[in-house]
Structure 1
């Protein structure tokens, strides 16, 4: 499965993030919140750890779910030019998504994503750790929550990309899916598979469906469009309530 153009469109949000830039292990990271017992790891989308939208979302989670949120850089310092966000600009060099994913494949990035979760769970003393993955990060949080990996207590994902059936089959922690009506990444086949295997997983699961919305809405929705604004706020509230339930 590959990523598609829906992963590289959207809108920038206004606002000033409240957290600070520091490190988590070997990775630079944006950190916000002050809870010493509960943490959330965000695995970002293609736009990476510096995207204002992702940092503003992290602030919301920290404040509303009372957790410390870590948003590390999982792309080795590469930051996608924000001019690529939205309609193509005249004369702009097109963004080569295929090459980007080649540089940031699952095999390449999985070790550092696991190292970040391990640091939170086993070195920094958090009693509970949750993870949320957006688009690109969707596959990663499922792997963190797989059988035998005691690194997270719950996961959430909004419009996951690169997710495969075996990753759904292997999940072993409460998991939440935030799914828009139109999403070439989370196909009908994947949705059908989810509902088919859910009873055998014997896990608490929350499937949130957002009619009228498209892939990317939870992190790159247009806040000037009432339908998109209501949807992205509802997606944020869903994740907050999930974290409150499982991390406290």
Structure 2
């Protein structure tokens, strides 16, 4: 992960869901469907990040699903002002943050949430933004838990995680992304079609890492990309959860 994971824009809006718990984790939940659920694995801005809560509301309404956004950072929250404040971005030590939130530490919690949803809902999908990208790939290695995954500009993703994917997979990839490099993009497009699962690679020219969850709504190109990414994820969930 790099400094691009700390930059972006805050969106206006009022989330319509509520706070609950899932597998002993605090979680934002929105939607009431009993047959399909979506697990969101958040980026470094955590479960309270308004942009992702607003996206959760869209997924719930437009994909007819109950959407859960749990807290996978033990209550640690990066102030949303960090996105647009150079001084706060500078003071946010990303390597130390990742040390507190390593894959080995957080994946068991993420898996526990997926298992809890699978015990309650016939079909479960997952989407991961940035930090959450590697996590949904690990979940997607076992078709017993998920019906599909989606990820937007994944970070920390490895070739070994790509190699093991076993459920329908969607990638929302901007043109410029230091985290999801051209090498990883090429590798995904080579390997995943050989895995025998439905695969959709959505390319967003002119856009950069973070666009799907932190883009500038006042920039026409970025706004169009965000809306297209949202529609793509909704269509993916509608296809494989219903």
Q: Normalised by the shorter chain, which TM-score bucket?
A: over 0.9
User: Does structure 1 retain, via aligned residues, the 8 Å contact 2:63–2:235?
Assistant: yes
User: Does structure 1 retain, via aligned residues, the 8 Å contact 2:193–2:199?
Assistant: no
Partner of 1:57: 55
Partner of 2:202: 208
Gaps of 5+ in 1: none
Partner of 1:110: 107
**CA–CA distance in 2 between the matches of 1:36 and 1:198?**
31
1:209-248 to 2 correspondences below 5 Å: 209-248=203-242
**CA–CA distance in 1 between the matches of 2:67 and 2:109?**
17
**TM-superposition CA deviations, 1:154-212 (whole Å, max 9, x none):** 00000000000010110000000000000001111111111221332111000000001
**CA–CA distance in 1 between the matches of 2:126 and 2:107?**
14
**TM-aligned CA deviation for residue 45 of structure 1:** 0.2
**CA–CA distance in 2 between the matches of 1:58 and 1:5?**
25
1:174 lines up with 2:171 in the alignment: no
Determine helix, strand or coil for the equivalent of 1:229. Answer: helix
**TM-aligned CA deviation for residue 54 of structure 1:** 0.5
Give the aligned length.
242
Determine helix, strand or coil for the equivalent of 1:74. Answer: coil
Corresponding residue to 2:76 among 71, 75, 78: 78
**CA–CA distance in 2 between the matches of 1:201 and 1:100?**
34
1:16-165 to 2 correspondences below 5 Å: 16-89=14-87, 94-122=91-119, 125-146=120-141, 148=142, 150-165=144-159
**CA–CA distance in 2 between the matches of 1:27 and 1:174?**
27
**CA–CA distance in 2 between the matches of 1:93 and 1:181?**
25
**TM-superposition CA deviations, 1:193-233 (whole Å, max 9, x none):** 11221332111000000001000000000000000000000
Structure 1 runs, 4 residues or longer, greater than 6 Å off: none
**TM-superposition CA deviations, 1:122-178 (whole Å, max 9, x none):** 2xx2000000000000000000010x4511110000000000001011000000000
**TM-aligned CA deviation for residue 87 of structure 1:** 3.8
TM-score, with structure 1 as normaliser = 0.95
**TM-superposition CA deviations, 1:21-61 (whole Å, max 9, x none):** 11112100000000011000000000000010010000000
**CA–CA distance in 1 between the matches of 2:192 and 2:30?**
34
1:192 lines up with 2:186 in the alignment: yes
User: Does structure 1 retain, via aligned residues, the 8 Å contact 2:36–2:124?
Assistant: yes
User: Does structure 2 retain, via aligned residues, the 8 Å contact 1:83–1:89?
Assistant: no
User: Does structure 2 retain, via aligned residues, the 8 Å contact 1:49–1:72?
Assistant: yes
Gaps of 5+ in 2: none
**TM-aligned CA deviation for residue 112 of structure 1:** 0.3
**CA–CA distance in 2 between the matches of 1:169 and 1:51?**
31
